[in-house]
Structure 1
Amino acid sequence: MAGESDQQPKSESRPSRLYSGGERPYDPEDLVMATGADPTPERVEKARKLIEKEGPQVIERYLP
């Protein structure tokens, strides 16, 4: 029974595992939306530069 508590119930509306983003690729638009802002060209460009500078784990600071 070890490991059963680690598993989340499967649902058609969400994946069986949730990922924060640092371990999967995401777009600069995703980073902008994770901050709660609308993706404008200026914000997307700023997010792209932030991803280049700090790496893909930067999105984790905005996710719960």
Structure 2
Amino acid sequence: MCSMANPHVTGIAAMLMSEFEFGSANEVYEALMSIATHDTLDSPKDHGRDVVLAYNGADR
């Protein structure tokens, strides 16, 4: 499913890749998931899924 989240997450991934060296796409994914906020978004269509909020602000 494509959404407007895709370009935002891609930007965060690009920022992380400019700061750190990753050996695989999975390492980038793990880094994204480690800075994401879990269990803050809730929607009936997302019931039961781990929906995360990706944020890359000054306090990261």
TM-score (norm 2): 0.34
Higher relative contact order structure (alpha carbons within 8 Å, sequence separation ≥ 6): 1
Q: Which has the larger radius of gyration?
A: 1
Greater per-residue strand proportion: 2
Normalised TM-score (structure 1): 0.33
